[in-house]
Amino acid sequence: VILSVTGRAPINIAVVKYWGKKDERLILPLNGSISGTLDLTHMCATTTVAISESFSEDQFWLNGLECSLSARFSIVLEAIKKRALENETIDREKLSWKIHICSKNNFPTAAGLASSAAGLACLVFCLARLYNIDGDVSGIARLGSGSACRSMYGGFVEWMVGECRDGRDSVAKQIIPANHWPNMAVLILVVNAGRKHTSSTSGMQTSVQTSRLLEHRAKLVVPDHIDLMRGALLQKDFQTFAQVTMKDSNSMHAVCMDTYPPIHYLTHVSHHIINLVHSINNYFRTCKVAYTFDAGPNACLYLLDDDLPTILSLIRYFYPKIQNVEEGGTDDDACRDG
């Protein structure tokens, strides 16, 4: 007998970022965070999880290649099995069957594009289905990769910082469903699709150890941003949404610079994109578009549907010039004037 479940989960893009843990094992964050979950068309992980009495070992294939299973996988699996045992959702015998996992991303893996979030969210969703577990499993996804807990829900989602030491209340909650703000769009500018040099896990570890600015960010800056962002989302206030998104991204990357030794995720091209976005917003005398960057150089732009044609044509016009700057390294002012 083989029991299998296939699921699909999209990436999420944080507008108030998670950067730093207070508990490495339970993945408890120093601060809350908020992200938008993309729809199920473009940037998704698709995973099939199968269990069988005939499998001799747990095995995992990512994008067609067999990979070793990480320690985080064992933690997630243990948490799922514990929940299944407690709620008696599946017979004990099946819980001892070995697992095969086959996962595929339709976008660059580990390029700072939240691939681990989609992958882990998808894995936890499939495991929960396989073992008939109902209710919220975002706390289990969190154990696999912090940001994965936010991909368990659609729309805009908050990962609650939580107060309990065991992490019980550090779970994801939806702030608004996708249809509350249906004309919100995301553009991803892939600056570099290679693997990132410093993973977010190790980058944030070094920040926790060395950056005083991170203490300030977690205690004062982020709580403010979370309040403003919640309000902006509920009221569909794009101006506040855009400003907080850009400031929070800048704040996170300032912490990366304050980390010792410093972590540079943004490249020349990323900085030119930042300048281009501000030039566009200045030109229109209102925020039309907001950038945000995770642990890599690729830009995620949030904007409204109506503005897509204009912004896209401006980017199509300027982006090749920006990329030439990176390659040629000569024309420093290529996109400064908008």
Q: Which of 200, 245, 270, 298 binds ligand DP6 (CB under 6 A)?
A: 200
Q: Which of the residues 3 through 32 are near ligand DP6 (CB under 6 A)?
A: 14, 17-19, 27
Out of 147, 151, 198, 251, name the contact with ligand DP6 by CB under 6 A.
147
Q: Which of 294, 311, 319, 335 binds ligand DP6 (CB under 6 A)?
A: 294
Run of H or E including 189: strand 184-189
Tokens of 257: 């610079």
Which helix (H) or strand (E) element contains residue 128?
A: helix 115-130
Of 77 and 117, which CB lies nearer to ligand DP6 in the complex structure? 117
Task: Give the residue with the Cβ less far from ligand DP6, 80 or 295.
Answer: 295
* Phi, psi (rounded to 5 degrees) for 28: -105, 125
Q: Tell me whether residue 245 or residue 281 sits nearer to ligand DP6 (CB atom).
A: 245
Should residue 145 be labelled a site residue for ligand DP6 when binding is judged by CB under 6 A? yes
CA distance 19 to 237: 25
Spatial separation of the C-alpha atoms in residues 265 and 294, rounded to whole Å: 8
Choice between 101 and 335, CB closer to ligand DP6: 101
Residue 191 to residue 173: CA distance in whole angstroms: 31
Which of 89, 201, 210, 310 forms a contact with ligand DP6 (CB under 6 A)? 201
* 280 lies in the binding site for ligand DP6 (CB under 6 A): no
C-alpha angle 300/306/312, rounded to 5°?
A: 45
Q: How far apart are CA 81 and CA 87, in angstroms?
A: 10
- Closest separation between CB of residue 200 and ligand DP6, Å? 4
Q: How far is the CB of 87 from ligand DP6 (least distance, A)?
A: 26
d(CA 206, CA 20): 9
- In the complex, the residues that contact ligand DP6 under the rule CB under 6 A are 14, 17-19, 27, 33, 114, 116-117, 145-147, 200-201, 294-295
